[in-house]
Structures are given as C-alpha cells and as structure tokens.
Amino acid sequence: MSEAHAVLNALAPAEARAALARCCGSSRWVAGMLVRRPWASTEALHADAGQVWRALGGADWREAFAAHPRIGGEGGDGWSRQEQAQVGQAAADTRAALRAANDRYFERFGYIFIVCATGRSAEQMLALLQARLGNDPARELALAAEEQARITHLRLEKLSA
C-alpha cells in the first residue's frame, strides 16, 4: 500500500484540506477527515475515509457528485480526464449515447451519473448508466454513493503517486 497517510500528515492544514477536496468534493467529508489527522497508516486513512463517508447523508453525497464532470463531458481536473480517458477513444455514436443517457439520468435523479470510471470502457459505462436509469431513487443514490467511495479511495492513493 502507498504512503498516502504520510503525504497528508505532512501537509499544512490548508494544503491537506485542498488535497482531500480533490479526493472527495463533500465539504463535510473533508472536515470529518481533517479532525482525524494524523493517521498512523494508510490503512487507518482508508478506514476513516469510509467511516466518515458512511456517516454522511444524501445532501453531502450530492455535493461530492457535483464536483465531478459528466462521464464523457467537458472539464474536470487531470484526475477526472485520466479516469475517463477511454471515453475519448470511443466511437462518436457511443459518445453521443453517453451524452443523451447522462441527460436522462440527470433529469430522473437530479445529479450527475457517478461511476468509478477507472479501467472501464465507454461502452461499459454506457451500459451501467442505462441499467441504473431503471433504479428507484433511493437505490440509485446508495449505488452512486458506493461509486463515489471507490473513487475517493483511488484518489487517496493518487496523493502519494
């Protein structure tokens, strides 16, 4: 495992806040993590990340979702572009289908489609998006929160890369 905990422990408070915010866009998650600093190990960091995330609710989760660009959309930081790199290699019709499905998803649930895109093709993400459109709102919010947790854990590891 990486030394992500050591990286975060060494940062000044404002820098640690910014680094954690890159990992998860929920301000309450960031605040909850900062009060738990320093960490004895990266395992402890990840355990706290999960504990703090699970203690939050829908509004906090939606705040975190809003920090991401849409799958296949414009914008986002270097991590988002890297995570979604395979979308840019997809056929034009797949990218168009992703845009249309993203619009339907947002209309249905009121937030962007969240999926841990790392290692997934555009076609895989499109299939997941289309399948999740049929979920009831409570189930979908729980699934989106699980995906955000995966993203957060991956991004915590990127801090020490």
Which amino acids are annotated catalytic? Answer: 68
C-alpha of 23 from chain center: 7
24 CA to centre of own chain: 6
Distance CA 147, CA 113 (A): 10
Helices (H), 25-91: 27-34, 42-55, 58-66, 78-83, 85-88
